[in-house]
Structure 1
């Protein structure tokens, strides 16, 4: 078993792009009694952009306010955390007044409640804050989950969240991959494990063995019965985009973009991120040129993206997704519209 120097909790951070099977991987890991892997409230992604609004966190009132707001975010997460967030206890446990420290303490509290040694965060956007995470003293084991970006784009188009135009989705997928490569170059192979989504669903036992070697675990076939777990059922109840989580692994869930994306969509994606697709062994479908898009074309993509996002917000089949996120949306609107403290 891996322990850090103080024999305390060991963090696992899943990185990459959402809609790459991260909830599937999280639920498989959560089957281990040694791992606490709950659905993320995306603490860093919500608060990092507005952190300046809290002022000097060395001042007790400012730090207390941040702690309270982070706790409020966890409490309105679409997938509920069975954890009593005692604000005073969290403040007491923080060894430094930083957002990363609050994030760490809350995950450690959940791990302690679960009687686990590892805690896992699948907020994949945390790849953008890995320098802060490392500088704060956290040394996570990073699992980089990679999926064909065209399938990622195809999946995003059917969900409530995220961008919707293929151009924007390709930009995000490429950026996330390059950022994850940066993590690898800075932390090394001892704390970085790349996993292909396609390998996870086609040969899960082989991938489990890779994870076992990486984390010194003993995950076995029982981990693949994640779909019977309470955590899986709670996640699936929170929206259409997670409905497959109460089913066994879908081994043929690849190449969906060929059915769901237009020829133009595929060409746009490959013009933006074709080099990264090829780097990861994904074959291109179009014989596009490498000419960059004009500002006029990009503006058109922006306009279409906004229309598609609006349509997703009004979609009837995403009603449950919207209802489960009402309180979270209200809180984020409140937090982001604060002008002064």
Structure 2
């Protein structure tokens, strides 16, 4: 068990895979591709009710089912009984931590990190269990996040939903920044990481209390980087050197209406992170429920299009679909526990 794990938090499509691979190349740190345990179980956790030994083992079994069917397969399989037995707390975090400890033991390194950016929603829970967590708050211009999300199978695709999520997660980051000591949370701008990689990585390693290592700049040569690139088009850039001009893409890839929409939703937060509005005027005064319904339809149609393309291109698409069914099964069991278990109906 370690007391100073590393958490990359923020919003997806902000360079978290890039930062994960850079850190994973360090001789002391392992950052496996995340199975997003808290993202899938955070809202289901309460349905396990009283975590006696039997129910805790059920929780461990369900979490391990998700991990062992990860869309970016780990090199190890985790065993639910062993995870439950080794867990130092009877909680979801205890299982999560023990699974990462198992991977750390496999890696032979000293310290693990987690790239599940959704952990920005669970900072308080982390701090209940961890003595000295280190948070790397990764921030990227929301308009470029929207560009990247347009072609990703893992994210909302419509700029409206991208902007709403970005706002929520940056608000959580700002709240955490106010509560946590300065030596526990560090802002890392994606634009700085790609424009000044050496200086930015040096700043990160200083924050983490480790030495800078030159091989961190050649992360793309590692087997881990190549593996991710081959699995999904969403990760194709992981096997390439840093693309230093991969910012301010949105003027070329978003329409004026899309930029207006994003700046209407997120415009007030841009200055906080050093970004400026692109448009001098904005014709949007209010977003109606009817408009939001239209955005949902548009997002659904775009998702169908992207998933259809992924079914032909992505080598892990079958794993992606399998995970979807596993998550639906877990949600169904959660529903049964919450609504029928008192009547003696079992969830398995």
Do both proteins adopt the same fold according to a TM-score greater than 0.5, normalized to the shorter chain? yes
Q: Which of the residues 218, 221, 228 maps onto 1:225?
A: 218
**What are the equivalent positions in structure 2 for 1:120-135 lying under 5 Å apart?**
120-135=113-128
SS in 1 for 2:8: strand
Deviations 1:132-151 (A, max 9, x none): 12123454200011111100
Query: By how many angstroms is 1:290 displaced?
Result: 6.9
- Cross-structure match for 2:174: 181
Deviations 1:227-272 (A, max 9, x none): 1111111211220010111111111111111111111111100000
Q: Which of the residues 305, 310, 314 maps onto 1:311?
A: 305
Is the deviation greater in 123-132 or in 37-46?
A: 123-132
Unaligned runs of 5+ in 2: 338-346
- Cross-structure match for 1:98: 91
CA distance in 1, matches of 2:136, 2:9: 6
SS in 2 for 1:40: coil
Q: Which of the residues 89, 100, 105 maps onto 1:112?
A: 105
Q: How many residue pairs are counted as aligned between the two chains?
A: 334
Q: Which of the residues 199, 202, 209 maps onto 2:202?
A: 209
Query: By how many angstroms is 1:298 displaced?
Result: 2.1
Deviations 1:178-237 (A, max 9, x none): 101111111121101101101101110001110121011112332111111111112112
CA distance in 2, matches of 1:120, 1:108: 10
SS in 2 for 1:292: coil
The RMSD of aligned alpha carbons is: 1.7
CA distance in 2, matches of 1:149, 1:62: 41
- Cross-structure match for 2:342: none
SS in 2 for 1:13: strand
**What are the equivalent positions in structure 2 for 1:38-49 lying under 5 Å apart?**
38-49=32-43
- Cross-structure match for 1:322: 317
Provide the TM-score with structure 2 as the length reference.
Answer: 0.91
Q: Is the 8 A contact 1:30 1:37 kept in 2?
A: yes
Query: Structure 2 vs 1, CA of residues 166 and 150 (structure 1 numbering), >3 Å: closer, same or farther?
Result: same
Query: By how many angstroms is 1:321 displaced?
Result: 4.9
- Cross-structure match for 2:18: 24
Is the deviation greater in 80-89 or in 211-220?
A: 80-89
**What are the equivalent positions in structure 2 for 1:118-197 lying under 5 Å apart?**
118-137=111-130, 139-197=132-190
CA distance in 2, matches of 1:277, 1:333: 36
CA distance in 2, matches of 1:159, 1:324: 16
Deviations 1:47-86 (A, max 9, x none): 11112332321x1111101101111111111212122413
Note if 1:300 corresponds to 2:294.
Answer: yes
Deviations 1:112-144 (A, max 9, x none): 222222211010011111111212345420001
- Cross-structure match for 1:277: 270
